[in-house]
Structure 1
Amino acid sequence: MSRQQLKSFAFFCTLLVGAAVHADATAEDFSPQVWLNPGLYSMHFNRNKDFRENNIGFGAEVMLTDDHVLMAGSFINSDRQRSHYGLYQWRPLHWQVYGVKVGAGIAAGAFDGYPKYKDGGWFPAALPLLSVEGERLGANFALIPNIPNRMSGAVAVQVKLRVW
């Protein structure tokens, strides 16, 4: 990553953190939460290729409010390479279904580790995301777009455990 790309990435992350810290009135009643995950599982739209779908790794998310979440982690991606990510999640839509919290929004940030995209370097990404959370167990569902000759589209699920 060049010095200019690093500066741009740092500036982008600073903006995301600033947006996350800006909380609405309900934030006063909210206690931050920490969730951990063992990577993600993906089901690719193109079933004819030999993609890795058990994308094990380690990730964490800090829920600042119901609407604002910071995510970071690392996993073995579908191209069998190590990927890292840092994301800000904005979930403005909320439902309560049989005592389970459901939130929908977008996760935006950066990923690396995909050899056909930016030669494995960092790149910005935005993904639609749906979260389902019980008291201690939850899951995130994301739609990964298909980018021809760079990245294969998929539906991904990330199981998570609340530790705080």
Structure 2
Amino acid sequence: MISKVFKTLPLLLALAAPLAQADDFFTKIEAEPKSEVWIDSGFWTAHFDSGKGLNGNNKGLGAEYRFSGTMAAVGGRFYNSDREWSNYAGVIWQPYAIGPVRVGAALAAFDGYPKMRNGGWFPAIIPTLTYDYQRVGVNIGIIPSYKDRLYGGISLQLKLKVFE
């Protein structure tokens, strides 16, 4: 049942995309300066193709520096779906919100996936939702599949604010 929900979520998001024009649905976030440092966990991933025996417990550690209301620099290391260590570095750009949830995308580079550029670095755009409450938060990434090289899913990352 849960896997069916995760498989249909990208379709539902695509169908909801026209609502981005509705002023009462999305709110534009102001890009005012901020200075917040977060420590991020690895990821817990529900893969769209759950029958391949992929690793969904992507242990790891990362950091996030939110320098404006719409942007944060991110970087870290995690044990990926192919059971190899991966590194990532990039930015999260989230110019919109639905209530308290920021909406946008992570623009990042990753390595460590053996079937993608022989484990070398590659760029990715990952739709990302973020919810922060005081000193705790969560990032949710909707990872697209790419041929037989990268396996898509919905990833959850917990975070803790350590400086403001």
Q: Same fold (TM over 0.5)?
A: yes
Report if the CA contact (8 A) 2:31-2:70 is conserved: no
Which 5+ residue runs of structure 1 have no aligned equivalent? 1-23
Equivalent position of 2:155 in the other structure: 156
Pairwise CA distance, 1:142: 0.7
Is 1:92–2:79 an aligned residue pair? no
Q: Secondary structure at the match of 2:148?
A: coil
For 2:121, the aligned partner's letter is: W
Equivalent position of 2:47 in the other structure: 44
Distance 1:137 1:113, change over 3 A: same
Distance 1:62 1:50, change over 3 A: same
1:107-136 Cα distance to aligned partner (Å, 9 max, x none): 102000000000000001011000000001
Pairwise CA distance, 1:26: 5.4
Is 1:56–2:55 an aligned residue pair? no
Matches of 1:163 and 1:44, distance apart in 2: 30
Q: Secondary structure at the match of 1:114?
A: coil
Equivalent position of 2:112 in the other structure: 113
Matches of 2:31 and 2:115, distance apart in 1: 43
Q: Percent identity?
A: 38
Equivalent position of 1:144 in the other structure: 143
TM-score by length of 2: 0.78
For 1:68, the aligned partner's letter is: M
Q: Secondary structure at the match of 1:48?
A: helix
Matches of 1:25 and 1:135, distance apart in 2: 19
Which 5+ residue runs of structure 2 have no aligned equivalent? 1-28
RMSD of aligned alpha carbons: 1.5
Pairwise CA distance, 1:41: 0.7
Equivalent position of 1:18 in the other structure: none
Report if the CA contact (8 A) 2:30-2:95 is conserved: no
Matches of 2:30 and 2:91, distance apart in 1: 20
1:68-95 Cα distance to aligned partner (Å, 9 max, x none): 1100000000101000000111110024
Say how many residue pairs are matched: 135
Distance 1:26 1:41, change over 3 A: closer
Matches of 1:106 and 1:132, distance apart in 2: 14
Matches of 2:31 and 2:76, distance apart in 1: 28
